[in-house]
């Protein structure tokens, strides 16, 4: 495993820092450590927050201290990386790419020198790894966009982008979980509510899961929307064998 370091982050948090890059192997190291910590039930730990190459651990300094915790975490670190391969959890998100929602779809297609149908095909054929969540409630930083589809953000951001909008910004793709201003190129929209505070689990996915976009017609979009309103819609979740193998060999 590449070099890892640990630092205090204030008097009630610490951070485990892996190699400085966005990379599936690094991501997997972060997730495995995160899992190992949550399984261990270590006294004093309040919550853990995974990111691209860091795991931040918030703790109660009245219950534990940096030395004690860092020792425990170092010991978990070596063990966690030997945990057998994880299953790949894929959350299927229906997306309607109709121009009613995909207001920038034509621009993205022109930019890539493709037809709109090609863009939809390329965008929905891949599984996107959720590296981390942040920025907005339930906003997923997704990796794996086909480089052909990458396109810079709008020069002037839009005042309001509706919740569910699917877009492209640079080499990233993503979904707006809540309405927000933003400069993403919008190519579609999902009828699914990615974040719902009243739902038993307010979020549909977490870091380490994969997202697969399934193209749907406007008719199906409306139908799913109805089901979402009546709380009868459930996103399909598939479990597959992990595609990217051991972190050491990646």
Partner 1 sequence: MGIQVTRSGMQTTIQDQGRSGYQRYGFSVSGAMDQFSYRLANLLVGNTHNEAVIEMAVQGGSFSFSEPTTLAITGADCSPRLNGVPITMYQAVHVEAGDELTTDLLKSGMFSYVGFFGGLKIPEVMGSQSTSTRYGIGGLEGRALKSGDTIQFKTISNTLIESQSLIMSLEILSDLFDSEIIRYVPTEDDTHFEEGTQELFCQNDYSVSVKADRMGYRLEGQAVEPDHQQESLSEATVLGDIQIPPDGKPIVLLADRQTTGGYPVIGTICSVDIPKMVQCRPGKKITFVSIPLKEAQDLLAEQEELFSQWAAQLTDPERKEVSEKVSNDKLKQDNHIEWNPDQIKDVIRRVDKSKLTYFSYESNLVKVKLDKRQPQLEMPETDRLGENTPVEKPDTELMQSTLVGVYFTHSERGNQLYIKEGDHVVVGQVVGRIEALKISNDVIAFTNGIVRSIYVENDQMVEYGMPLMEVELDSES
Choose which of 116, 124, 137, 220 interacts with partner 1 (CB under 8 A): 137
Place of tokens 């997923």: 140
Instruction: Kindly state whether residue 44 participates in binding partner 1, applying the rule CB under 8 A.
Output: no
Q: Which of 16, 33, 239, 26 is nearest to 131 (CA)?
A: 26
Whole-angstrom CA distances from 47 to 7, 17, 43, 160, 224 are 16, 17, 11, 32, 34
> Smallest distance, Å, CB 149 to partner 1?
22
Residue 120: CB atoms within 10 Å:
20
Token digits of residue 178: 């809540």
- The 66-85 contact track toward partner 1, x by CB under 8 A, reads x-------------------
How many residues touch partner 1 under the rule CB under 8 A: the total is 46
> Smallest distance, Å, CB 247 to partner 1?
18
Q: Which of 131, 126, 168 is nearest to 23 (CA)?
A: 131
Token digits of residue 218: 């406007």
> Smallest distance, Å, CB 178 to partner 1?
7
Choose which of 54, 70, 81, 227 interacts with partner 1 (CB under 8 A): 54
Region from 4-12, 109-117, 147-155, 168-176 binding partner 1, contact rule CB under 8 A: 4-12
Contact 92, 236 (CB under 8 A): yes
Binding site for partner 1 (CB under 8 A): 5, 7-13, 15, 17, 20-22, 46-54, 56, 58, 61-62, 65-66, 132-139, 141, 177-178, 195, 197-198, 202-203, 206-207
């Amino acid at each position: 495993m590449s070099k890892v370091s640990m630092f205090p982050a204030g008097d009630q948090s610490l951070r485990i820092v892996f190699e400085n890059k966005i990379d599936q192997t690094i991501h997997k190291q972060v997730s495995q450590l995160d899992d190992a910590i949550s399984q261990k039930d270590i006294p004093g730990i309040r919550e853990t927050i995974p990111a691209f190459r860091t795991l931040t651990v918030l703790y109660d300094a009245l219950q534990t201290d940096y030395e004690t915790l860092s020792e425990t975490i170092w010991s978990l670190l070596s063990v966690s990386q030997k945990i057998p391969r994880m299953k790949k959890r894929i959350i299927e998100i229906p997306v309607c790419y109709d121009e009613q929602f995909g207001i920038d779809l034509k621009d993205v297609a022109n930019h890539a020198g493709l037809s709109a149908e090609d863009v939809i095909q390329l965008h929905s054929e891949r599984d996107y790894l959720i590296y981390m969540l942040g920025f907005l409630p339930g906003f997923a930083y997704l990796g794996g966009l086909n480089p052909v589809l990458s396109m810079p953000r709008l020069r002037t951001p839009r005042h309001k982008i509706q919740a569910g909008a699917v877009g492209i910004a640079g080499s990233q793709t993503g979904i707006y979980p809540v309405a927000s201003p933003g400069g993403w190129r919008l190519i579609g929209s999902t009828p699914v509510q990615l974040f719902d505070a009243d739902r038993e689990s307010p979020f549909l996915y977490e870091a380490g899961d994969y997202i697969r976009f399934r193209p749907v017609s406007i008719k199906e979009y409306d139908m799913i929307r109805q089901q979402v309103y009546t709380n009868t819609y459930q996103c399909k979740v598939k479990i597959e064998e992990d595609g990217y193998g051991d972190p050491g060999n990646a």
